[in-house]
Amino acid sequence: MRERYAKEALTYIPRLLQLIDRNPYSPTYGCFDRSYWHYLTMDFPCGMYQEFVLPLTLCFVNNYPGNRFYQKERLRELSIASIRYANKGSHKDGTCDDYFPFERAMGALVFSLYACSESYLLLGLDDPEIVAFFKRRGDHLCKKNETGRLSNHQALAALALYNVFLITGEDKYRKYSEDRVDLALSWQNKEEGWFQEYEGADPGYHTCTIDFLGKLYKKTQNKSLIVPLKKAVDFAWYFMHPDGSYGGEYGSRNTYHFYPHGFEIMAAFSDKAGQIADHFLRNLPKGKRYYNDDDRMIAHYVYNWLQAYDDYYEERSIDINSRANFLQWFSDAKIGICKTDNYYAVANMGKGGVIKIFNEDGPMDSDTGLIGELNNGAVLITHLMDAKHFVNANVADSEFKVAGYFSKRIVKLPTPFKQIVFRLLLLAIGRFNANLVRFILQKILITGKTRTKYRFERIIRFKDREVEIQDKLLGVIPNFKKLSLGSDATSIYVANSNVYQESVLCEWKHATLEQINSLKKGNAWVRLIGTKS
């Protein structure tokens, strides 16, 4: 099964070679942002795109099965050009932009710094100009951090900084790396093993953090990483579904990320890590993985699959689907997982009871909570992470309850006028205080909530043969003109959400007028999901 990693990754290399400017006489030679250099629809180059160098480098260096790109000299030339363009497309302090000018995004910086520095090491380069560029980025990471708690960014910053240490030999970058490791580990829930992603646990981004810290362990052999990584793997084990899919809208950031390389590294220390990676591979030919295949994001998992092939752990443990039945409640994450002979269910009560239900064939149901439109056009939702939700877990009776307030769904779409004003603000203020802009945008698009006076209650009961979900309206009743249960509804800005995995094809359930009127009278909307026919 090991070859499945390489086979899946190699299908993407022609697309990456389409995205890069391959003309040595072009001022954007080596740039992967096709919207900038080819379509001319962007007014700045996205620095994140230079991460795409790593799959090209890996394919040049390593003779994967079926790799027709191995030792193609043009691939080496393009890899070097893309590292050099990462420098050219950056600000003088080494920072780069992702979504808007003068953003100086740490995420884009560390993703591309890791990929470029890893490629530099793999290619055995000796280029003082590139080394100076890496040092500028490393020095910036020493002095600046980002707003918000994103553990995966801190783990990747640590990995990238360690590469800068390996390239320069300057011990300060090793120390900076250790500082970022300490920060990431300080954001790990010590009892349950998950890493903080904004307002809670996101099993998708959790695999990214495992991956980055696992890579760092491989380089440093720092055994102090093993215990927190094993705890993190134990948490991730619950979110590998029986059909081979992983993650979803029940996470704090709605992601389906699955990075297998970290699990291959950890398989030497954890049977569960091997089970997780093995189950992903078993179901890969069935199309059960997530697909995040737009031009901006595709490289994330392409090089990860190649690295997972490189570090494939030969000793595989038992099939994860041999797990005994269980009911697991993570009280801090507010996530419950139930496995019976008939279904596998994951519910995040801190998100209003968002729940996904599977069997070995695939998704049985996906329910991201109530979403409805009032007569005045406002759209109300229950699926935001909200610390003010009241959650009650009766584990003995397998009953979980959440009560909270509907929030308004706020949609911020760009217009020419808004973009002009935004660009002017960036020129006047943002270029001097990127973190202030980031903080404001986070409040508007991610962590901010416009709560209403309307209340809801959801009760989830895990039974032997089915899951019972019960929704009620409490107190002042909103005047809904239409009301639904979304299967994949999200309402915060996360670039890596709203991707494709099979569960997004679960049907939305639209309430009839009779059902809406029944809810207004205090009755419950009840569904039973999970019984095998």
pLDDT at 438: 83
Nearest Cα residue to 352 out of 475, 451, 271: 451
| Residue 455, SS3 per DSSP | strand
Give, for all 533 residues of the chain, the pLDDT tens digit: 999 999 999 999 999 999 999 999 999 999 999 999 999 999 999 999 999 999 999 999 999 999 999 999 999 999 999 999 999 999 999 999 999 999 999 999 999 999 999 999 999 999 999 999 999 999 999 999 998 899 999 999 999 999 999 999 999 999 999 999 999 999 999 999 999 999 999 999 999 999 999 999 999 999 999 999 999 999 999 999 999 999 999 999 999 999 999 999 999 999 999 999 999 999 999 999 999 999 888 888 999 999 999 999 999 888 999 999 999 999 999 999 999 999 999 999 999 999 999 999 999 999 999 999 999 999 999 999 999 999 999 999 999 999 999 999 988 899 999 999 999 999 888 888 888 888 888 888 888 899 999 999 999 999 999 999 999 999 999 999 999 999 999 999 998 999 999 999 999 999 999 999 999 999 999 999 986 43
What interhelical angle do 203-220 and 226-236 show, nearest 10?
Answer: 150
Q: 323: Cβ–Cβ under 8 A, 6 or more apart, which residues?
A: 339
Please give the full DSSP string across 364-383, using - where no structure is assigned.
EEEE--EEEEETTS-EEES-
192 φ, ψ to 5°? -105, -15
- Contact between 210 and 236 under an 8 Å Cβ cutoff? The reply is yes
Q: Is 392 helix (H, G, I), strand (E, B) or coil?
A: strand
Alpha-carbon gap, residue 491 to 444, rounded angstroms: 11
Residue 426 · residue 386 · CB < 8 Å: no
Structure tokens at 310: 């490189």
Residue type, 453: K
Residue count (the chain): 533
How many whole angstroms separate alpha carbon 513 and alpha carbon 519?
Answer: 10
Domains recognised in the chain with CATH numbers = 2-321 (1.50.10.10), 325-410+450-529 (no CATH)
Residue appearing with tokens 């480098």: 57
pTM value is: 0.96
Helix (H) or strand (E) holding 435: helix 434-442
The strand ranges marked E within 248-289 are none
Provide the b/e sequence for 442-468 (b: ≥16 CB within 10 Å).
beeeeeebeebebbbbbbbbbbeebbb
CA distance 110 to 101: 17
Write out the two tokens for 7. 């086979």
Confidence (pLDDT) at 441:
86
Distance in angstroms (rounded) separating the CA atoms of residues 209 and 236: 11
Q: What pLDDT, on the 0 to 100 scale, is given for residue 531?
A: 65
Q: Given this model, what pLDDT does residue 532 score?
A: 46
Helix axes 128-143, 171-186, angle to 10 degrees: 40
Q: pLDDT at position 178, please?
A: 98
